[in-house]
Amino acid sequence: MYNTILAKLITSFLILIFSPGILAQEYIVTDYGAKNDGKTLSSTAIQSAIDAAHISGGGKVIVPKGVFLTGSIVLKTGVELHLTKEAVLLGSTNPFDYKGINRWKALVLADGQSHIGITGDGTIDGRGQELALQVDSLFHVGKLDSTHYNIRRKRPSEVLRPQLIEMVNSNQIEISGITLKNAACWVQTYDRCTDLNIDNIHVDSDAYWNNDGMDISDCKNVRITNSYINAADDGICLKSHTKGFLNDNIYIANCTIRSSASAIKFGTASVGGFRNITIENITIFDTFRSALAFEAVDGGTIENVAVTNVSATTTGNALFIKLGHRNLDGKVGAIKNIKIKNLNVHIPFSKPDLKYIIRGPESPFFHNVFPASISGLPGHDVENITLENISISYPGRGNKGYAHIPTWRLHSIPEKASSYPEFSMFGELPSWGLYVRHVSGLEMKNVKLSVREQDFRPAYVFDDVKGLNIEGGSITSLSDNKQFIIKDVKGLKVRNLSVDGLELEKVISFGSNSDIIGVQFQK
């Protein structure tokens, strides 16, 4: 399957590279009146160069060395916007210099276009904090519609704050080489696009709230490679906003991600779904939420996902897989056929995104460090999950004073079917390593969990799991407590699992509920 996907993506990439429009005549924006003084608004001049290239059948619009102040510009079929070294497109801080096409506002827009690109060694700097504060001020003096202001969060909504790039219903797109800085909202969105290649870009945007580094929504045939993402929200986020559409054939590789939310996330918007996704060779650091988050809560399906070689340090949570039902009037979606191999994560005791300007929100309750979790819903299991060669190091230091959940009270953990999904959504959880509920088909091969200081909770809790196969692996607990708790588990197989160097020797029942058993490790 994945060889077929790769072949399709390579073919699409070659079509893009050798497109006649991309290789055609050059158009220099200064020839159309653009000024590189960083003060003169050059939107009209840059747009004139783009229009001229488009009318002539395609071409390369050159932004030379210098700082060019601009509001929204619109890319058109056959046009490559090329930023030379030391060229800067500097976003205007006047909100009225921006417009949207079909959806949200952005500095560079495209809708229904083909064979387009943004390339080069230059920079797009949105000056997001200054721009967002201008939007905020305009609201408070009564010049913006109050329906677009988030009163609870005390900031302008995403509709009012321009992105750097938004491309919709377009195909044959190349984004390469450029630096994207300081968005007022999401940095870049590609919605219902086909044959998209993003390579060797640098995103540095923690200037304001909702700074997703990259949002891919309902796109087909996408490559994201060799890029650096530093974002004050999700790093690389796959979304599905539109019924009847989905993300299909996505390849993400050789990227470094720093995020004050989740590094790689499926959802939260998950109307259509996600399938045939390959992710490999990812480095993650200083990330507040999850290294990997799979969230299907709006009726869509996440299926056929392969993740390999992910290393995450100073990250709040290793893995979060959640099937929910936020779309109360619609069907429950699905999560199935997910394989994660060679995942190595270090969880700190302190706040992992402490050095960010915009940090993740504090929980409204005291809590111990949250475990990784995989959870479906009653009657709707997450299906066929494989975890292989996984190593997660936790800080330990569990405190019963925060919330002591005895194993006989597993039923008290809320389902939160319609809630916004994130790893802390259930409140305190009864394990320090991995919590699993409502899952069919879980293969765990050489999974190693460890704590650096003692934790009173067990490493594993499995509740309503069918077909649980554990082969190899270890638990480093630093404790005499039971480390393996199961409830309503059918088809359990455990081989060669050890705790603190001791092999599994016997299973004993305990507690007031006969369907709960703990696995005890003895010499």
End-to-end CA distance of the chain: 46
Would you say the C-alpha torsion 24, 30, 32, 37 has a positive or negative sign?
positive
Q: How many CB atoms lie within 10 A of CB 121?
A: 16
SS3 53: helix
CA distance 428 to 445: 27
pLDDT reading at 321 higher than 70: yes
Instruction: Please state the rounded mean pLDDT for residues 419-430.
Output: 94
Instruction: Name, in order, each residue with C-beta under 8 angstroms of 260's C-beta and a sequence gap of 6 or more.
Output: 206, 231, 232, 233, 287, 288, 353, 356, 358, 359, 360
Please give the pLDDT value at position 152.
61
Query: Given pLDDT bands bounded at 50, 70 and 90, which one contains residue 366?
Result: confident
pLDDT tens digits, one per residue of 456-471: 999 999 999 999 999 9
Instruction: Please state the rounded mean pLDDT for residues 305-312.
Output: 98
In terms of phi and psi (left: phi > 0; alpha: psi -120 to 50; beta: otherwise), the region of 488 is left
SS3 30: helix
CA distance 153 to 161: 14
SS3 485: strand
Q: Which residues of 266-300 are buried (b: 16+ CB within 10 A; e: fewer)?
A: bbbbbbbbbbbbbbbbbbbbbbbbbbbbbbbbbbb
pLDDT reading at 514 higher than 60: no
Please give the pLDDT value at position 509.
35
Asked if 439 and 465 touch (Cβ cutoff 8 Å), the reply is yes
CA distance 78 to 87: 22
SS3 436: strand
SS3 62: strand
Query: Given pLDDT bands bounded at 50, 70 and 90, which one contains residue 22?
Result: very low
Q: What is the DSSP string of 111-174?
A: ES-EEEEEEES-EEE--HHHHHHHHHHHHHTT-S-GGGEETTTTEE-TTTS-EEEEEES-EEEE
pLDDT tens digits, one per residue of 212-253: 999 999 999 999 999 999 999 999 999 999 999 999 999 999
Please give the pLDDT value at position 157.
75
Q: What secondary structure, in 3-state letters, does 204-242 show?
A: EECCCCCCCCEEEECCEEEEEECCEEEECCCCEEEEECC
Q: Are strands 37-41 and 66-70 parallel, antiparallel or unpaired?
A: parallel
**Hey, which bits of 297-370 come out as E strands?**
301-323, 334-346
128 φ/ψ angles, rounded to the nearest 5 degrees = -60, -40
C-alpha closest to that of 293 among 405, 107, 420, 187: 420
Asked if 476 and 373 touch (Cβ cutoff 8 Å), the reply is no
pLDDT reading at 93 higher than 50: yes
Asked if 126 and 144 touch (Cβ cutoff 8 Å), the reply is no
pLDDT tens digits, one per residue of 134-184: 888 877 777 776 667 775 667 777 888 999 999 999 999 999 999 999 999
What are 169's two structure tokens? 């219903």
Please give the pLDDT value at position 518.
59
pTM of the shown model? 0.92
The proportion of the chain whose per-residue pLDDT surpasses 70, expressed as a percent, equals 89
Instruction: Name, in order, each residue with C-beta under 8 angstroms of 151's C-beta and a sequence gap of 6 or more.
Output: none
For residue 114, how many C-alpha atoms fall within 13 Å in the half-sphere facing its CB? Answer: 5
Please give the pLDDT value at position 409.
85
What are 76's two structure tokens? 């058109």
Q: What is the mean pLDDT of the chain?
A: 90
- Dihedral, CA atoms, 163, 266, 375, 497, nearest 10 degrees? -120
